[in-house]
Amino acid sequence: MQRKLYTPLLVVLFQCMTSCLISHAQSTRQASTFLYNDSHFHLTNYIQEGITVKRHLELMGDKVSRSTLFGIPLQQQWSYENSGTFAPSYYLQSDAPLYYYSFTDAYIAMQYKSLTTAQQARFDPMITGFNPADMYAYKHIERVLRTFPGVFTGIGEFSIHKEFVSSKVAGEVASLNNPALDSILAFAGKVGLLVILHNDVDMPMAKDKAEPVYLNQMKELLKRHKSTTIIWAHGGLGRIVHPVGYGSGANGERTSTQITVMDQILSDPEFSHVYFDISWDEVAKYIVSSPQSIQNSATLFNKYPDRFLFGTDVVAPPDQPFYLAVHKMYEPLWNALTKETSQKIRLDNYVRLFDAARGKVRAWERMNIK
């Protein structure tokens, strides 16, 4: 009886020790050979087309060590009444709605399973094909895990409030206050799934001096799920959801900025489970827009080097220069960071978070899938 009780614990402890040793060895190698690990990568686009995972591996080459692997959970409808014979391939090219496309998870799983074991070790597939406004969404995630054990590391990127996208989704609009989202994040925490969540901090083209529309709702959501590791994608920014500035002092100056918002979250123990990624060239354009913005960002990142991850947010890149372009955009930032902070954001934080999630999800699968 005693042996039955302690065997699962010993297995988990052994796996954790092994994972730590592998992560340390990998980090040491990465310091001299690889540019980054990609915490945010889309294999397919809004019409579920893209490149194969083997092609992605070729683009990674000796420049990128590891990468997430996910599609886009939404399909752009081709409505003949709307665009005639023009086939839209992006959500801004049509007024027709978007709808959730659950098959994306099976496609990603089969792409991953087409690789050798050594190749698979370089990827972390993520589940995205669920509707965050559906109370059954967490059941979809569970079914994917049971159908494809040994494959997925987390969920996301999935979106709640996203400029131009949210309003186009057919059916009920997703919300930060919806119990369906709570059930998704609670299940992720139970299993150990890492979460990549896109939620704009504010409305598009918001006026300064007004508090960001979604900030308080987002904070409350994060507080409700302290057992779930959450990466807030893009730091809450978007193509036209620019860094916030709100509140005013005696002379009308802004008293709160995007930097102070992030600083407040990262300094609060209630948000110790929350991380930010700085993926997307649209986010990079804000950070490297001026020497002052570079310095402000570098100061924040150097203060919290363990809480940020780099990602490209590239969708089905055609060649390696295209795939590496976002990293190149950030060169002024890398130069402004300490060597240790740069190493953690580009490489080490990915290994730490995704390896921990891998171990937890595999342990849940062993205990729950026969």
Domains of the chain from N-terminus onward: 37-368 (3.20.20.140)
Q: What is the residue-averaged pLDDT of the chain?
A: 91
Report the amino acid identity of residue 291.
Answer: P
Spatial CA neighbour of 204 closest among 237, 177, 232, 174: 237
Beta strand 274-277 pairing with 308-309: parallel
* Predicted local confidence at residue 27, as pLDDT: 47
Please list the residues that pair with 280 across neighbouring strands: none
Contact 329, 288 (CB under 8 A): yes
In the predicted model, is pLDDT for residue 206 greater than 90? no
Angle at alpha carbon of residue 341, lines to 306 and 290, rounded to 5°? 110
In the predicted model, is pLDDT for residue 141 greater than 60? yes
In the predicted model, is pLDDT for residue 24 greater than 90? no
pLDDT confidence bin for 252, thresholds 50/70/90 = low
Strands (E), the chain: 36-38, 41-42, 64-69, 74-76, 98-100, 123-127, 154-159, 194-198, 230-232, 245-248, 254-257, 274-277, 308-309, 314-315
